[in-house]
C-alpha cells in the first residue's frame, strides 16, 4: 500500500487510532482524524494530534468526504452508513491490523477466540522470551499493532492478540501461525448474528497460506468446522480427543505430540480452559522451534494475567478473585468451572445481546448467590430466576459489601460479570482495578 501523498482519514482516536495516525504520517500520508467524542475528552489525543500536526474534526457525515482510504479503530463499527457510502465511492476501508501488516518486520503469530486470547497471547510471549526467542507482544492488548512496526525486525516473532473487530477488515494480512481457541456467543450487539461473528474470526485462518500453521481447538464445533476448510497445516489441541499431531490430556499429564510435556498440577493458572490455553501456546512454541523442556519450564513460571481469574487476596478464610475480563457468558462459565463451590458471584454490566440461561446450572450447583449489578441486572434476573439466590446489588461496592457480610471461611467471592463494563466503568480494566481496590479496603470483622 503506497501511502505517500494519500489522503487518509483515521476514525477513532484512542490508543489504536493514535498509533495508526502516527504510522500514516511517518509513511508520508496526508492524514486527518475524527472521533465521536470531543478531542479534550480523549486521553493523550490532543498531544498526539499536535505532535503529528494533523487536523481533527468531531465525527460527522462530511468528515468522510474526499479521502483515498479510511482506517477505522476496533471500536468503530465496520458497517457504519458513512463507511458503506465510502466503499461505494471506491474508498478502501481497513483496520489497524491491515494497515500495519505490510510494514511489520519478522514473522507473525495471531491469536483469536471468544475467550482466553489475552492469557494465551501473553503465555506465548512468555515462553518465547524465556527460551531466548526474540518476540514482542501486542495487538488487542498492550501495544497497538501500528506502534509495533517501529520495534519489529527480521528474525523476531510478533505475537498478536486479535479481536473480531480487527479481523473483519483484513484482506492481505496473514499470520504465519494462527490460533483460534474457541468460538462462543459474544459481541452480538456488534455482529448481530453468531454466523457473522464466526465469519470475522475465521478470517485469521482463511487468509493463511499453504506453508502456514493453524492451531485449532478440536473440542469446539466452530473451530473444528473451520479447520476443515483451512489452507494451512493444522495442529489440534483437545481435552477429550486424541489428535495424532497435537496436544492433549492423558491422565494427569499434558501430552505434546504423544509425549508428556508436564503434569496438570504444574500448571499455575486455574481451570480447564487454562489447560487448553497452555496446550495452544505449547503447540505454537514447538512450531517456532522451542524445546519441550523449555516450554514446560516457562509454563511453570507463568502467572495469571491481570483481570483474568486473578487471585486478589484471602481475608478471614474467604478468597477473592478478579475475572473482570469475563465479559461474555462463556467466559463467566469458564470462571465458574474453575471452582468447586461456595461462590458469591458478581454478575452484570452492559449487555451485549447475550443469553444468560447457560449460567443457571453452574450457579445452582456452586453459588450461594449471584449479586447483580449494572444495566443488564434486570435481564439477568429474568433469565436466572429460580436457579440461585439473586441479590439486586446495583453497584460493585454494594455487591462486594453484601458478599463480605455473608461469606464464611472457605467461600470465594468471584467477579465474573458476563457483561461489558461500559455502563458504570471506562473499561474492564477500570472495573477490575475498582474491585481490587475495594477488596483491599475490606477489614476483618467489619
| Within a domain: 219 | yes
C-alpha cell at 432: 477490575
Report the chain's mean pLDDT, rounded to a whole number: 94
Residue 235's Cα: distance from chain center in Å? 21
| Residue ranges in the chain modelled with pLDDT below 70 | 1, 185-192, 445-446
220 and 154 both lie in a single domain: yes
Q: Does a structural domain hold residue 132?
A: yes
DSSP 3-state assignment of 73?
Answer: coil
Q: At which residue does the C-alpha cell 483491599 appear?
A: 440
Question: What's the structural domain count of the chain?
Answer: 3
What is the model's pLDDT at position 191?
55
Residues 321 and 371 in one domain: yes
DSSP 350: B
Check: CB of residue 94 under 8 Å from CB of residue 251.
no
Torsions phi, psi for 115 (to 5 deg): -140, 150
Q: What is the DSSP string of 32-62?
A: EEEESS-GGGSTTHHHHHHHHT--EEE--GG
Question: Would you state the pLDDT for residue 446?
Answer: 61
Q: DSSP labels for 415-441? A: E--SSBSTTTSSSHHHHHHHHHHHHHT
In a domain, 445, yes or no: no
Q: Let me know if 397 is exposed, middle or buried by CB neighbors in 10 A (0-12, 13-18, 19+).
A: middle
Statement to judge: residues 158 and 277 lie in one domain: yes
pLDDT digits (tens, 9 = 90+) for 97-156: 999 999 999 999 999 998 899 999 999 999 999 999 999 999 999 899 999 999 999 999
Last residue of a domain, one of 68, 96, 124: 96
Specify whether the CB–CB gap between 219 and 256 falls below 8 A.
no
Domain with residue 148: its CATH number is 3.40.1190.10
CATH code (residue 39): 3.40.50.720
Beta-carbon contacts of 218 under 8 Å, excluding residues fewer than 6 positions away, are: 224, 227, 236, 237, 238, 241, 243, 246
176 assigned to some structural domain = yes
Q: Per the structure block, which three cell numbers stand in for 255?
A: 501430552
Smallest CA-to-CA distance from 106 within 73, 135, 86 is with 135
284-306 as b/e, with b when 16 or more CB fall inside 10 Å? Answer: bbbbbebebebbbebbeebebbe
Same domain, residue pair 146 and 231: yes
At residue 24, the pLDDT reads 97
Q: 257 and 128, same structural domain? A: yes
Assigned domain for 229 exists: yes
| Count of residues in the chain | 446
pTM of the model: 0.83
Identify the CA nearest to 392 among candidates 404, 407, 379: 379
What does the pLDDT read at residue 40? 86
pLDDT value, residue 192: 67
- Looking at the structure, tell me whether residues 117 and 258 fall in a common domain: yes
How high is the pLDDT of residue 219?
Answer: 95
Last residue of a domain, one of 45, 76, 96: 96
Structural domain for 113, as ranges: 104-300
Helix (H, G, I), strand (E, B) or coil at 119: helix
End position of a domain, from candidates 34, 65, 96: 96
Q: Are residues 205 and 279 in the same domain?
A: yes
Print burial letters for 364-385: b (CB count within 10 Å at least 16), e (below 16): eebbbbbbbbbebbebbbebbe
The verdict on 333 and 436 lying in the same domain is yes
Q: Look up residue 422 and give its three cell numbers.
A: 461500559
User: Do the Cβ atoms of 414 and 321 come closer than 8 Å?
Assistant: yes
Give the per-residue pLDDT at 43: 85
Is 340 among the domain residues?
A: yes
Helices and strands: H and E segment counts in the chain: 17, 20
> What CATH number is attached to the domain comprising 386?
3.90.190.20
Residues 87 and 123 both lie in one domain: no
Asked whether residue 121 falls in the same domain as residue 75, the answer is no
Identify whether residues 156 and 28 lie together within a single domain. no
Is residue 118 assigned to a domain?
A: yes
Coil/strand/helix, residue 255: strand
Is 305 contained in some domain? Answer: no
* Residue 284 and residue 175 share a domain: yes
Amino acid at each position: 500500500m503506497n501511502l505517500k501523498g494519500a489522503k487518509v482519514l483515521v476514525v477513532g482516536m484512542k490508543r489504536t487510532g493514535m498509533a495508526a495516525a502516527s504510522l500514516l504520517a511517518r509513511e508520508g500520508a496526508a492524514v486527518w482524524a475524527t472521533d465521536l467524542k470531543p478531542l479534550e475528552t480523549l486521553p493523550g489525543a490532543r498531544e498526539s494530534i499536535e505532535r503529528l500536526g494533523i487536523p481533527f474534526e468531531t465525527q460527522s457525515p462530511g468528515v468522510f468526504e474526499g479521502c483515498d482510504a479510511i482506517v477505522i479503530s476496533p471500536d468503530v463499527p465496520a458497517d457504519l452508513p458513512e463507511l458503506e457510502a465510502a466503499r461505494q465511492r471506491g474508498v478502501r476501508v481497513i483496520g489497524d491490523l491491515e494497515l500495519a501488516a505490510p510494514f511489520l518486520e519478522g514473522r507473525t503469530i495471531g491469536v483469536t477466540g471468544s475467550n482466553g486470547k489475552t492469557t494465551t497471547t501473553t503465555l506465548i510471549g512468555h515462553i518465547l522470551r524465556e527460551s531466548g526467542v526474540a518476540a514482542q507482544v501486542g495487538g488487542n492488548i498492550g501495544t497497538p499493532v501500528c506502534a509495533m512496526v517501529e520495534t519489529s525486525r527480521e528474525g523476531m516473532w510478533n505475537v498478536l492478540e486479535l479481536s473480531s473487530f480487527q479481523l473483519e477488515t483484513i484482506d492481505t494480512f496473514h499470520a504465519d501461525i494462527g490460533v483460534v481457541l474457541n468460538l462462543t456467543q459474544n459481541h452480538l450487539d456488534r455482529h448481530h448474528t453468531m454466523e457473522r461473528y464466526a465469519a470475522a474470526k475465521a478470517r485469521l485462518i482463511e487468509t493463511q497460506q499453504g506453508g502456514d500453521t493453524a492451531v485449532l481447538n478440536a473440542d469446539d464445533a466452530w473451530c473444528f468446522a473451520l479447520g476443515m476448510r483451512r489452507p494451512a497445516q493444522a495442529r489440534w489441541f483437545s481435552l477429550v480427543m486424541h489428535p495424532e499431531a497435537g496436544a492433549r490430556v492423558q491422565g494427569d499429564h499434558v501430552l505434546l505430540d504423544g509425549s508428556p510435556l508436564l503434569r496438570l498440577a504444574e500448571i499455575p493458572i486455574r481451570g480447564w480452559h487454562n489447560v487448553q490455553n497452555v496446550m495452544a501456546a505449547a503447540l505454537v512454541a514447538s512450531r517456532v522451534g522451542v524445546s519441550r523442556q523449555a516450554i514446560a519450564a516457562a509454563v511453570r513460571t507463568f502467572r495469571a494475567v491481570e483481570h483474568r481469574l486473578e487471585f486478589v487476596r484471602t481475608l478471614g478464610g474467604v478468597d477473592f478473585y478478579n475475572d473482570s475480563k469475563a465479559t461474555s457468558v462463556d467466559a463467566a462459565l469458564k470462571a465458574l468451572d474453575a471452582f468447586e463451590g461456595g461462590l458469591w458471584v458478581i454478575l452484570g454490566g452492559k449487555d451485549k445481546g447475550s443469553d444468560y440461561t447457560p449460567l443457571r446450572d453452574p450457579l445452582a450447583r456452586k453459588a450461594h448467590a449471584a449479586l447483580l449489578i449494572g444495566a443488564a441486572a434486570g435481564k439477568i434476573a429474568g433469565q436466572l430466576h429460580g436457579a440461585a439466590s439473586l441479590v439486586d446489588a446495583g453497584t460493585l461496592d454494594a455487591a462486594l459489601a453484601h458478599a463480605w457480610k455473608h461469606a464464611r471461611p472457605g467461600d470465594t467471592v468471584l467477579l465474573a460479570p458476563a457483561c461489558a463494563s461500559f455502563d458504570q466503568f471506562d473499561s474492564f480494566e477500570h472495573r477490575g482495578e475498582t474491585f481490587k481496590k475495594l477488596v483491599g479496603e475490606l477489614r476483618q470483622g467489619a
